[in-house]
Structure 1
Amino acid sequence: MTTIKEITEALKQAQQQEPWMDAIVQDERSGVQKAWAQFQKRLQKQQQLQDAHTEKLAFDASYLPHPDAFIAGTDEAGRGPLAGPVVTAAVILPNYCGELLGINDSKQLSKETREKFVAMIKTHAIAYAVHFQPAEVIDAINIYEATKQSMKASIEALEIKPDFVLADAMTLPIDIPQASVIKGDAKSLAIAAASILAKTARDDYMEQLHELFPQYGFAQHAGYGTKQHLEALENYGPTEHHRKSFEPIKSMIVQKE
């Protein structure tokens, strides 16, 4: 292994520092040192992912009432948009689940990464459920209450009843011991997994809605109040999927009456 190309390829395949790399540290060729720096950076990133994963596992484990208990995490997607449902998910993962390294708050991940994790979560989860709360319910009981009721529904839809529930910044009307965790999707693996399922399901739904109402651009903004969306509302008015209790839609409806 003498050429820069050979050394670079070998470092790309390596998963940890090994004795044969001692010679590389002493190799003064700029191409070799560049490859070595990239390898070190990759190892550092992997260690950071592992440390974050370990912290999430420990956080969830701290709520276990007994070693074999089931912890469910629940989270939502879509509380802020002007259109579409709020979607919640509940997930029970195996305790100390090491296979889901890299799972994080869904907002911190790319669409491609979320979709990859959705498949992994569904493969490894003990149970999971997703619930869609439509705009008419949001308008009837307000977004906060609609989100709570949706989280409750997703938990009750789990095939296995959890022993404890971790909810992202929400106290739920359930008969199961629970904890409301501020920024839970960054602290808990179970909540992070739920956030990924909820956001992916909602994004897919809004893309389907885009096919029915392309003039609103739902595939681009997922129902949030972007300039494009607000202009479409001015031009075409709200659909049945818009939240009539949200501004500026509420005022637009009043003006037409």
Structure 2
Amino acid sequence: MFTDRLLLLAPRINETGLQLLTAAHARGLPARTATGWRAPQDVPPLVHLYGGPLYADAVGRELGVAALEELPGWLAELPRELTRRSVELLPLAEARALRRRAFCKPPSDKLFAARVYQDGSGLPGPDALPDDQPVLVSEVVTFRREYRLFVLDGVVRTGSRYAVDGELDVAPLAEDPLHREVAAFAADLLAAGAAGLPSAVVVDVGLLAGGGWAVVEANPAWASGGYACDPGEVLDVVLRAAGPLTELRAADRPYCRELPVVTG
């Protein structure tokens, strides 16, 4: 039984959050859903978080949490044999000037819709987001199948299929007919693209319509849905991904989200 730590979930709990509560209680780890968007006072000294960026920003600093996320340019810096498409990290001002079709998304926070834009004129203007806001700009490709992988210390701990031909289609990775190919590509990716990733993270990969495997993106484990992943394994990754700052590993320091000081 743990007496000095707590898994705290954001108020807007989802299916993965419910699974994490069950998995935590099964191993004797106290876990509960927050009742509001302020840091609760009745918590033990060591807190882990699961929830979106808004909740991490609202309470993480006050609770002494280190929230790990991939570096903004990780996807853009991967070799083309892993992305199978051109990917650039651009300031929003340059992205707005694009006069070609591209898939555009914020590197981490959902500051605007991640989708295919016919050109940069559809991106948020300077009145909405600053010119230096980073944007990932990718060549448009079509994924036939997509998979979510929860990674801890460079090893895939659990995985799930989540889409087929762009439609939600969830199944445990082990039940997917291409699970061995997914595992092989993931091993190659983690061997070649570990730089830029924290020790606990989510990586999405997929099979392209034209053939070949490619990285879709990386995401913070503490803000990612588990689909049909094993909840106990997801919990292990989440606990590392957003845990006590006092337990932060030196190698993970470059991947700590800059959490704001919340006043009022």
TM-score by length of 2: 0.23
Larger Rg: 1
More strand by share: 2
